[in-house]
Chains A and B, each alone.
Chain A
Amino acid sequence: MDLIDDFFSHAVRLATQPSDTQQIDFRRAVSAAYYAVFHLLTMTAAESWAVGRERRRFARLFEHGRIKAASQALPGKLKERLGDNPSPDDQKTADTLLAIAKDFVRLQQERNSADYDNSLAWSSSEVENVIQRAQGLYVRWKNVSKTPLAESYLLDMLGAK
């Protein structure tokens, strides 16, 4: 996924190369890190869409608010899906997905702050922490993205019942 790598490279470059417009660079870095994970999720879902030529349109069905809602509802959904005696592998996947969901919600908040809230100045550490968490989410997602639980989470993001 070249686009995702590009978003991360862009974020790191803005965060680490001092310039005359540092605060703007920091804000754009936070935004880029968030968009890396946003597109990571939407593109993973689109890859499963059978009609290749329509995958980009499919990816555009995802909305920020719905992904947040799905992430917040994930603990309850996982309980339903796992039942009383989940296998160790499923439990491990579920724990990973819960961590991803939490981080996604937090990264979305940071992106909104970076894009819309001019009252707070960003520090290098704050920006670095956002990028590191986004990169961590990327790595965790790669480990579980092909599991049925992750696929169900992606469907949740579209508002599926």
Chain B
Amino acid sequence: MIRARGVAHAAELQKKLNGIMPQPSPGVVKWRHTFGDDWSGDPAIFFWVTLSDEASKRENLLNASEAFRKAIDEQIDFENDWDLIPYFRFRSESEQAILKGEAYA
């Protein structure tokens, strides 16, 4: 079975991810990632991004989320270099305080 480069060389990818700034784009309070397969079984990396309440407001949300995606995409080409599909989820600090999602913690 062929493994995604990002899975086979996870330590190398992790090093690259560690090199990304704690706040890659404005409004980001915290971000983390997990590896897994998507619903089609393709290898994937999932980003769980906590935004400030201000950045999460409806009128700011798209800009804040796109800025994070762009910042990550500019630094790592997941699909071509690591055979991983990147997926992104964004929620606000207040929402996370209530929902306490483990993936975001």
Contact = CB atoms under 8 A, between A and B. Distances in A.
A109 B99 CA distance: 21
> Which 3 A-B residue pairings sit nearest by Cβ, starting from the closest?
A112-B39, A123-B95, A123-B91
Interface residues of B, number: 23
B40 interface: yes
Which of A75, A121, A136 has most chain B Cβ within 10 Å? A121
A116 B39 contact: yes
Which of A112, A124, A126 has most chain B Cβ within 10 Å? A126
B99 A132 contact: no
Contacts of B58: 128
A96 interface: no
A121 B99 contact: yes
B101 A121 contact: yes
Interface string A49-76: 0000000000000000100100010010
B40 A120 contact: no
B102 to A, nearest CB: 9
11 contacts: A65-B40, A72-B79, A75-B79, A105-B85, A109-B85, A109-B87, A113-B39, A121-B101, A123-B91, A126-B91, A129-B65
A129 B38 contact: no
Contacts of A123: 91-92, 95-96, 99
A106 interface: yes
Contacts of B51: 125
Contacts of A132: 61-62
Contacts of A72: 79, 85
Contacts of B38: 109, 112
B70 to A, nearest CB: 11
Contact of B90 (A105, A109, A121, A129): A129
Given A112-B39, A116-B39, A132-B62, A125 B91 contact: yes
